[in-house]
Amino acid sequence: MVSEPEKWVKDMADAGADMFTFHAEATNDATALIKAIKDAKMKAGIAIKPKTPASAALKYANDVDLILVMTVEPGFGGQSFMADMMPKVQEIREKCPDMDIQVDGGIGPGNIDECAKAGANWIVAGSSVFKAANPQQAIVAMKRSIEKYGNGKADSELTPEIK
């Protein structure tokens, strides 16, 4: 999470980014920020921290391309997954059936089904992949979970072969 995400829109667009996700808590004017992101020809995403209600993101659902539900407190890798964030994911999925919903924090093969069942179709996984005995297999397992629960706009051609 960065402070004043408005300052970074142009730099990210100039660097070739095609999507810019910001934390709802980091801006005073999400509407203006979303407009700036779209004007810069990027997709817009809005993230919410664990203590922020889903409604903080849902009020922008018609304007954003993705809603990210943090499943840890942002800023520190290796934290434990907060399963109590899954009702937020479910609420967003119920109200926005076509929305891309991302989860980030403590996600891995051991809890991916819980995320997928709740409605997530985009996953951020760090240490659970990088510390896995077989990172490729961990990635494939998580992708298959998303596809299994029908939330994915997944492209099966992107799934690497398991060797």
Query: 48 has which bridge partners?
Result: 69
Q: Is the confidence at residue 105, as pLDDT, over 50?
A: yes
Residue pLDDT, tens place only, 36-80: 999 999 999 999 999 999 999 999 999 999 999 999 998 876 779
Region of 41 on the Ramachandran plot (φ > 0 left; ψ -120 to 50 alpha; else beta) = left
Q: How many domains does the chain have?
A: 1
Q: What is the mean pLDDT of the chain?
A: 89
Q: Name the H helices within the chain.
A: 9-14, 30-39, 55-58, 86-95, 112-118, 127-130, 135-148
**pTM value?**
0.88
Q: Measured at the alpha carbon of residue 139, what is the angle toward residues 16 and 20, in degrees to the nearest 5?
A: 25
For residue 81, being part of any structural domain is answered with: yes
Full domain range(s) for residue 9: 5-152
Q: Cα-atom radius of gyration of the chain, to the nearest Å?
A: 16
Is residue 158 situated within a structural domain? Answer: no
H/E element, 100: strand 100-104
CATH number at residue 131: 3.20.20.70
Separation CA 117–CA 148 (nearest Å): 9
